[in-house]
A and B are shown apart, each in its own frame.
Chain A
Amino acid sequence: MATKSLLARKNKLSEPKEQLRFLSNGIFADGKLPSFTEKLKVSQQFPLNPNSIEILQINVGYMCNQVCAHCHVDAGPDRKEIMTRETMLQCLDVIKNTKAHTLDLTGGAPEMNPNFRWFVEEASKIGVNDFIVRSNLTILRSNPKYYDLPEFFKKHNIHVVSSMPHYTQDMTDRQRGSGVFKLSIKALEELNAVGYGKEGSGLQLDLVYNPTGAFLPADQKALENDFKKALKRDFNIEFNNLFVITNLPISRFLEYLIASDNYEDYMYALVEAFNPAAVANVMCKNTISVSWDGYLYDCDFNQMLDLKVASKVQHISAYNEKVLQNRAIITSQHCYGCTAGAGSSCQGSLPNPSEGGAT
């Protein structure tokens, strides 16, 4: 498993244009598979336009203590892109005025941003209905300076969303690195100890499941039941919901698909599982993604592909919800990842899915 980002390895897939070129060539250029635009046109959903903004997702930096094999951010310890306090202040101005009910902080490991706590405190003062921090768990146990974060999260009523690809060590460590499972369990124990995931505490702890290879996730509810049973039985750990997220074929997951000769089969599987009903609820319909340097995107995936919103307003400093509303969402073949089966988003499977594909 690589211990450096694509960028540090000078892999050509670290360039968004190279990824987009790859996703438009081959099986999508020779007509074997329809492009995402063609598929949207057939179901009369092109162009894709947003509904009102409900979620403001802010990526506070690409630095991370882990180098997960599937990471769409290409995050790692060698990434130095970190949101400054100045950009955070611009974000806070937006949070004061937005109609969005959810603030969603992601990274990298957001906790590694030196201004992370200050930003959480300031945003918390404004009052956010649902304040999410996406924590990779191991960061909470990586250094004593982070040990009090569960208490800090509790103080600000943070909704913790954490990655956990499996309830066994083998499958977790293969995706996220050696030793990650044990450290994640320790972090979950600490979160449980302050009340997170416990019934009646009001402290929300959700886990995110990404498949640990070139396959799509199965039913969210069934997986959640298996996770709950196994984590309770083996470690006495409790959590609220399991969010099932499909791996999108970009960045390091794309690198893995190509290197393991799974790319074409995976794209066939995504296209075959295309669910027109899922399109209506994809996250780009109600989300704005903000990058570490303040630019605006339709989603975190488009951010990593450097596909800025198709709008006059492209930066948080000029944020205007009305103007942003009148845009077409930018799509490419990676979007098949969010419309497969029950659909996929940062909040897990999409509501009101039609039935998933049979084998």
Chain B
Amino acid sequence: MANNYYDSSDLKKFGEITEWSEELGKKFFEYYGKVFEEGALSAREKSLIALAVSHVVHCPYCIDAYTKDGLQRGITKEEMMEAVHVGAAIQSGATLVHGVQMMNKHKKLSM
């Protein structure tokens, strides 16, 4: 067994999760596939959203997958980096907006 938590070759085995729970696994992959089809949003736009979210949820498998997916779709590196910044801005904003809670508490406890 690998002596580390993440192994890039595990991404190829993702489909194997179905072997231990067939119905749920199949439903998940069906749903997943459907989500990324062309819809009200283009598959290209969805790929960029997925890339941004991959960074926010710190998923190395997803980052590999959606960097490659973006390249396949002809998405430029500038577009990809801007998408990552969108994710980063929301994540840092989510941290900072809690500063208001800190301020509220500080004010309540202070004379």
A and B associate in one complex? yes
A interface, CB within 8 angstroms of B: 166-168, 170-171, 209, 211-213, 215-219, 222-223, 226-227, 268, 272, 358-359
Excluding A218-B73, A358-B32, 20 further A-B contacts by CB distance (< 8 Å) are A167-B74, A168-B76, A171-B76, A209-B74, A212-B71, A213-B71, A215-B68, A215-B71, A218-B43, A218-B69, A218-B72, A218-B74, A222-B42, A222-B44, A223-B73, A223-B74, A268-B12, A358-B33, A359-B65, A359-B66
Report A150 CB to chain B, min CB distance, Å: 26
Q: Evaluate contact between A170 and B76: CB separation under 8 angstroms.
A: yes
Binding site for A on B (CB under 8 A): 12, 29, 32-33, 36, 38, 42-44, 65-66, 68-69, 71-74, 76-77
In the bound complex, how far is the Cα of B48 from the Cα of A246, in angstroms? 23
Q: Identify which of B33, B68, B69 gathers the most chain A CB atoms within 10 Å of its CB.
A: B68
Residues from chain B with a CB closer than 8 A to the CB of A212 are: 71
A-B contact count (CB 8 A): 45
Closest partner residue, chain A, to B77 (CB atom): A170
CB of B36 within 8 A of CB of A358, answer yes
Of the candidates B33, B65, B74, which one forms a contact with A226 in the assembled complex, judged by CB atoms under 8 Å apart? B74
**How near does chain A come to B66, taking the closest CB pair, in angstroms?**
7
Name the residue of chain B whose CB is nearest to the CB of A165.
B74
> B44 and A226: CB pair below 8 A?
yes
Most buried by A among B33, B65, B71: B71
Q: Which residue of A lies closest to B38 (CB)?
A: A222
Residues on the A chain within 8 Å of B29, using CB: 358
**Cβ B72 vs Cβ A215 within 8 A:** yes
Q: Bound complex: CA of A215 vs CA of B71, how far in Å?
A: 7
Please report the C-alpha to C-alpha distance between residue A168 and residue B71 in the assembled complex, in whole angstroms. 13
Chain A residues within an 8 Å CB radius of B72: 211, 215-218
Residue of A167, A170, A217, A359 with most partner-chain B CB within 10 A: A359
- A219 → chain B, closest Cβ, in Å? 7
Instruction: Tell me which of B32, B44, B68, B72 has the highest count of chain A C-beta atoms within 10 A of its own C-beta.
Output: B72
Instruction: For the complex, give the distance between the alpha carbons of A170 and B74 in Å.
Output: 12
Most B Cβ at <10 Å: residue of A170, A222, A227: A222
Check if A359 sits within 8 Å of B36, measured CB to CB: yes
19 residue pairs of the A-B complex, CB under 8 angstroms, read A167-B74, A170-B76, A170-B77, A171-B74, A209-B74, A211-B71, A211-B72, A213-B71, A215-B68, A215-B71, A215-B72, A218-B73, A222-B38, A222-B42, A222-B43, A222-B73, A223-B73, A268-B12, A359-B65
